[in-house]
Amino acid sequence: MRKCLKGVWNFFRKKRTLKSILNSIWEHIYNFFTEGTPKEVREPKNWLERNQYVIWDSIMLILVYAFLFSGLKMEWFLRNIIPIGGDVPYHYANYIDFKEILVPHFQISGWSDASFAGFQLFQSYSVFPFILIYLLNIFMGS
């Protein structure tokens, strides 16, 4: 670790041209793919050391979900409502256009006349979530 930090410090300490910086980056990438990982890898001593990242990840996920569900009521998930939130509540209208206009014509992109002069559907957002929602809608029977 100390050798790595020293190398980074020496790299940024010197005045370099763009060409020398790009050559240095290329050299590091080339060495990484040709030499592979270091040969001397220390084995973890005990169970805690082997699984420390899994433990920390699990603790952080539990804390995040505890924080989320402390403010959300489970009854909200079971209601027959349209969840509006996030950056654009207009996703529901996009889904309706997808379901009623595009799917019957076997298209994954089209034009929506919903606001002002209209806009092209799925130009800014991926169509995959809408396909997934449509398939779930068919599977769940609503």
* pTM, entire model: 0.42
Report how far residue 123's alpha carbon sits from residue 97's, in angstroms, rounded to the nearest whole number: 14
Going 95 to 101 to 102 to 106, the CA torsion angle's sign is: positive
pLDDT reading at 108 higher than 80? yes
pLDDT reading at 93 higher than 60? yes
Cβ–Cβ under 8 Å, residues 137 and 99: yes
The pLDDT of residue 45 is: 80
Tokens of 34: 């040709």
Domain spans of the chain?
2-35, 47-76, 82-140
List, in order, residues 6 or more apart from 130 with CB less than 8 Å away: 94, 95, 98, 122
Find the Cα–Cα–Cα–Cα dihedral 87, 93, 98, 101, rounded to 10°: -160
CA angle 5–6–7, rounded 5-degree value: 90
pLDDT reading at 13 higher than 70? no
Cβ–Cβ under 8 Å, residues 53 and 44: no
Lowest mean pLDDT of 16-25, 55-64, 93-102, name the range.
Answer: 16-25
Cβ–Cβ under 8 Å, residues 78 and 84: no
Q: Average pLDDT for residues 113-138, to the nearest whole number?
A: 85
Q: Which residue has the tokens 């084995």?
A: 43
Taking Cα atoms as reference points, which of 38, 37, 32 lies closest to residue 24?
32
pLDDT reading at 4 higher than 60? no
Q: pLDDT tens digit string along 73-92?
A: 777 777 777 666 556 667 78
Q: pLDDT tens digit string along 16-54?
A: 677 777 787 778 777 777 766 555 666 778 888 888 888
